[in-house]
Amino acid sequence: MSLIQENNQKPKENRKLQQKRNKCKSLEESFKYLNKTYVKMKSKEKKCNNNILYAVLQKFLTIMKNHNPLFCSMKPKLGYLGSYYDGLRVGQPTEYDINVILYLPVNYDKIYLDATGTTHDCTNIFMPSEFRRLSKNPTTVKEGFQKTSIWCDCKYRFSVKKFRSWMQGVVDTAIEKLRLEKNKRLINVDNKRYIIAAKMSGPACTITITPEGRDNDNNKVIDVDLVPTFSFELPKKPYGSNVLFHYLESINVKREYFVVPKPSQDEFSWRLSFPFQERYYIGNKNNLKSTAKLLKLLRDAQDFKQLASYYIKTIFLWEVQRQNDDFWKRKSLSYLVLHMLNVLRYCLAQENIKNFWCPEMNLIKGKLKSETCQNWSNRLAVIINDIKKNGKNNPNIIIKYFTKKN
């Protein structure tokens, strides 16, 4: 899936909000004020956007199936994942990550996953002989499977590039079937019309949903990353993988994981993804999610644009492993925010955020420049020291660091 920065519209403080802020007697109260005022989503907006999202996606998925027999035959179902569904989304409920889980009519036990020729958290997928027959069998040919003959190379490795190209075609065809008015594609759901646009971004296809007549209102635009995936279940795992699969096998959680067609220099390298296991690790940890969202709030306020949400999530995954459950129960929100800011500062100073599932992989290598890491680390050090030194006497000092200037 692609890494999307959460650009949120921050509410301007009116007089009533200023009065509430000024009543904060401690850092804890100030952080709770920030969480309630700037981080917490409005329930009415959540409900409204979720209803729009679900209704539009279900109809669009139906259109995709109606106009592509192969896509329909792969029995697509939607998996609601990503920061919003993990409870880590900041601000407006306008960005969603959703897996489109596809199924191939073959014996999955015979699909061979081999990571020996790949890097870090990736794997090759070798399809069995029965997959090759799908494009020749009259029954499966009628279901559209003749197109799958070009998805593999002569070694029967499943191609990310060719699969993504096919998926892009499925989406483009569905878009073209929508009503066209004034160069805009429209979909009608529950007697309301929405403008639909699409583009490929990383492994995902980003669908933009805009209520008709609200084109210029960014708060009303919903961006959905649809990520085509295939799922596997433990104990099946890639041969020779550097991923620490014993982490996955040791916890009592859904044993399903995914392979994602993230483009790279190796067109046969599929990214492994473990959303259910990550959700397990960060779940039921009291103030953990509020802390993570406040770090994202600071990231946006400080304009750390390249600090992806998944980098922040990853440092929390590592800290969950380092600390016992009492740590998250006993520590206050203010303590956790400063503690995790310091963890982030240290990672940036070291220019290394280790992939939780594959520690030999540095997530920010090649993504963030050394100069950027050091500048951000130094900036965080100044912020942390200022809050620790002056926060007791002036708890509202955090406002200038965690909110954008109007």
DSSP states along 94-124: -EEEEEEEE--SS-GGGPEEE-TTS-TTEEE
CA distance 329 to 286: 6
The whole-number average pLDDT for the span 206-233 is: 86
The H-assigned helical ranges of 258-308 are 275-282, 288-301
Looking at the predicted structure, is the pLDDT value of residue 353 above 80? Answer: yes
Say whether pLDDT at 89 is over 70: yes
Taking 70 as the threshold, does the pLDDT of residue 3 lie above it? Answer: no
pLDDT at 204: 86
Please name the residues in contact with 16: beta carbons below 8 A apart, sequence gap of 6 or more: none
CA distance 173 to 282: 39
pLDDT of amino acid 219? 57
Cβ atoms of 102 and 73 closer than 8 Å: no
* pLDDT number for residue 167: 95
Q: Where are the domains of the chain?
A: 42-108+135-274, 283-402
Q: Which CATH architecture has domain 283-402?
A: Orthogonal Bundle (1.10)
H/E segment holding residue 326: helix 325-330
Q: What's the chain's average pLDDT?
A: 91
pLDDT at 5: 40
Own/partner pairs for 371-375, CB < 8 Å, 24+ apart? 372/306, 373/348, 373/349, 374/348, 374/349
Q: Give the mean model confidence (pLDDT) for residues 348-361.
A: 98
Q: Is a pLDDT exceeding 80 seen at residue 217?
A: no
Q: Residues 14-57: pLDDT tens digits?
A: 555 555 556 678 999 999 999 999 998 888 888 889 999 999 99
- Please calculate the CA angle 105-108-113 and round it to the nearest 5 degrees: 130
Is the pLDDT at 405 greater than 80? The verdict is no
pLDDT score recorded for residue 20:
55
Which structure tokens are listed for 13? Answer: 């403080």
Residue 62: pLDDT over 90: yes
With vertex at residue 197, the alpha carbon angle to CA 4 and CA 44, rounded to the nearest 5 degrees, is 65
Query: Structure pTM?
Result: 0.90
> Residue 220 — pLDDT band, cuts 50, 70, 90?
confident
Phi, psi of 273 (to 5 degrees): -140, 140
Task: Tell me whether residue 100 is exposed, middle or buried, using C-beta atoms within 10 angstroms of its C-beta: 0 to 12, 13 to 18, 19 or more.
Answer: buried
- pLDDT of amino acid 10: 45
Q: Given a cut of 60, is residue 218 above it in pLDDT?
A: no
Closest CA to 278 of 230, 316, 226: 316
On the question of pLDDT at 206 being above 80, the answer is yes
Q: In this predicted structure, what is the pLDDT of residue 203?
A: 86
pLDDT for residue 9 is more than 60: no
What confidence score (pLDDT) does residue 4 get?
Answer: 37
268 in Cβ contact with 372 (< 8 Å): no
pLDDT at 199: 87
308-321 confidence digits (pLDDT tens): 999 999 999 999 99
Q: Which of 83, 104, 97, 81 is nearest to 232 (CA)?
A: 104
Is residue 256 a contact partner of residue 233, using CB atoms and an 8 Å limit? Answer: yes
pLDDT single digits (tens) 116-168: 989 999 999 999 999 999 999 999 999 999 999 999 999 999 999 999 999 99
Name residue, tokens 């520590």.
Answer: 331
Which CATH number is correct for 42-108+135-274, 3.30.460.90, 1.20.1250.20, 3.40.50.2300, 3.10.150.10?
A: 3.30.460.90
Using a 10 angstrom Cβ sphere, with 0-12 exposed, 13-18 middle and 19 or more buried, the burial of residue 203 is buried
Please give the C-alpha separations between residue 203 and each of 164, 240, 333, in angstroms, as whole numbers.
8, 24, 35
Given this model, what pLDDT does residue 7 score?
Answer: 43
